[in-house]
Structure 1
């Protein structure tokens, strides 16, 4: 089984922990210390919020600040459009920013959220039929109905 660990940098580890737990994630204390926090989304998906100084020890590449720069956008699915909206509301209430307008493609609904360090997280819902059929077939079926 594959587990996904996404390393994100932070300037304030305690703020990151508070932000992501406000979104419904939990913290695994076994993998949390003064350098990093293991943020648990589910049994397979984790963020490692890592202090900037510690993050720099992982690579010889130049570290770009997450605020004002984008190298990756992390997308997490939710069970409904309402759950997407709830995640964004919780994130904004916890100090995040919604940098773009919601996107509704008919088969998929998504909203973006920047955490207090500027790391981008997208929450989306995709119609189960679109997952099974593919988006083009789903849209065509909806148009003919």
Structure 2
């Protein structure tokens, strides 16, 4: 939980236990993390080895390019690894991999580029 707290997120205490952690991304968006044992209780499918395979890619919208860069930098400071940013003109992205190997994409969408 310390990794996501370092990113500035809080946890919903009503949904957080010794086996689960409910990250409050926004007032209406949460992400549930769980131990491997809890995961096995909820699905017959095996969790993958995230050092070899991508299990999930989350995408979060940020209000500005600065917020994208700041969040990516906080992720690295907390132990994650950073992807390189990409600037498409109308959209700026930067990603990181958390300490459990899950991919997170940070996106800032602005006005589309004008036609030449």
Moved over 4 A (4+): none
- Structure 1 length normalisation: TM-score? 0.75
Unaligned 5+ segments in structure 2 are none
Number of the residue aligned with 1:51: 35
- Structure 2 length normalisation: TM-score? 0.93
- Give the Cα–Cα distance (whole angstroms) in 1 for the partners of residues 32 and 95 of structure 2: 20
- Give the Cα–Cα distance (whole angstroms) in 1 for the partners of residues 21 and 50 of structure 2: 17
Number of the residue aligned with 1:83: 67
| Deviations 1:31-82 (CA, angstroms, capped at 9, x unpaired) | 1111011110111111111011111111112221233311321000100000
Number of the residue aligned with 1:36: 20
CA shift, 1:119, in A, is: 0.8
Number of the residue aligned with 2:98: 115
Give the superposed CA RMSD: 1.2
CA shift, 1:29, in A, is: 1.2
Unaligned 5+ segments in structure 1 are 1-16, 130-137
Kindly tell me the number of residue pairs found equivalent between the two proteins: 116
Number of the residue aligned with 1:105: 88
